[in-house]
Amino acid sequence: MRCPRCNGLMVDDWFQDIRDDTGRINFEGLRCLICGEVVDPVILRNRQIGPEGIPGRRRRRLSPAGVS
């Protein structure tokens, strides 16, 4: 797989998440050898559905500086 950020080579790697609320601490993912981008199944799924696909979550539009 090629990195979505820099088109570099992605390699399999193991990661630890000490604050994961699913109970999993270790997980497998892909890491880019060039820029360090990390991709796992959860990240890929969230990128596919985007913020519009999560009920109750919307991105706020920031107003230009000095405009309220």
Whether 48 maps to a domain, the answer reads yes
23, 40, 51, 52 from 27: Cα distances, Å:
11, 8, 23, 26
31-45 confidence digits (pLDDT tens): 999 999 999 988 888
Domain assignment of residue 3, yes or no = no
46 part of a folded domain: yes
Residue 64 included in any domain: no
Report the predicted TM-score, pTM, of the whole model to 2 decimal places.
0.61
Specify the higher pLDDT residue, 66 or 25. Answer: 25
In a domain, residue 2? The reply is no
Q: From CA 15, how far away is CA 68, in angstroms rounded? A: 42
CA angle 62, 50, 47 (to 5 degrees): 120
Q: How many structural domains comprise the chain?
A: 1
For 45-63, the pLDDT digits (tens) are 888 887 776 666 666 666 6
Task: State the Cα–Cα distance between residues 30 and 40, nearest whole angstrom.
Answer: 6
- Could you tell me the residue range of the domain that residue 32 belongs to? 10-52
